[in-house]
Amino acid sequence: MQSPIHKEGAIIFVLFFMLLFVNCTWKGNLNNKITIKINSIDEKSKQRRKNMFDTVEVRKEGFGYLMKTFKVVGVYRTDSTGSVKINIDSTKINQIFVSGLHEYGSEMYYPGYLKNNQQVDIEVRSYKDYWE
């Protein structure tokens, strides 16, 4: 005859692994990841900013009280061609900032706008142009 402690332990053990299995199969966040290519474009010449190695900051919409918050997902550096490939969540609002030496550009993308393997051009202009 088994004691009730072993039965309870077996039930807890089975429930633990069932919850672990269900949690692993419901990883919907991985299904929402898409890869995009961000190109840093000069506003005046409309050409890629080659060999400038701009900083690309990606922020994702978060939960905030009264106002939306945008938490930093990652900071990347463009390569010698003026572009960078990143993975983002396609179900959230994404803000992408590109900054270089005395230059800046940003865009906001809503859910459903960006597709997998899409190229995004962000125009970068001088800080002086923002104040004029």
Does pLDDT of 1 surpass 60?
Answer: no
Range of weakest confidence among 46-55, 59-68, 106-115: 59-68
Band of pLDDT at residue 119, cut at 50, 70 and 90: very high
**The CATH classification of domain 31-130, taken from the options 3.50.50.60, 2.60.40.1120, 3.30.1360.70, 3.20.20.80:** 2.60.40.1120
Does pLDDT of 114 surpass 70?
Answer: yes
Rounded distance, CA 90 to CA 100, Å? 26
Q: State percent of the chain over pLDDT 70.
A: 86
pLDDT of 3: 56
CA 38 from chain centre, in angstroms, equals 12
Rounded distance, CA 118 to CA 22, Å? 32
Which residue, among 74, 64, 127, has the nearest Cα to 96 in the 3D structure? 74
Whether the CA torsion 128, 73, 31, 86 is positive or negative: it is positive
- In terms of pLDDT, which residue wins out, 102 or 59? 59
How far are the Cα atoms of 14, 28, 89 from residue 96, in angstroms, in the given order?
Answer: 45, 23, 13
Does pLDDT of 23 surpass 70?
Answer: no
Q: What is the pLDDT of residues 60-75, one digit of tens each?
A: 998 888 888 999 999 9
Band of pLDDT at residue 123, cut at 50, 70 and 90: very high
Nearest 5°: phi and psi at 35?
-105, 125
Nearest 5°: phi and psi at 128?
-60, -35
Look at the pTM and tell me if it is higher than 0.85: no
Task: Return the structure tokens found at 58.
Answer: 């990606």
pLDDT of 94: 94
Band of pLDDT at residue 28, cut at 50, 70 and 90: low
The residue extents of the domains of the chain are 31-130
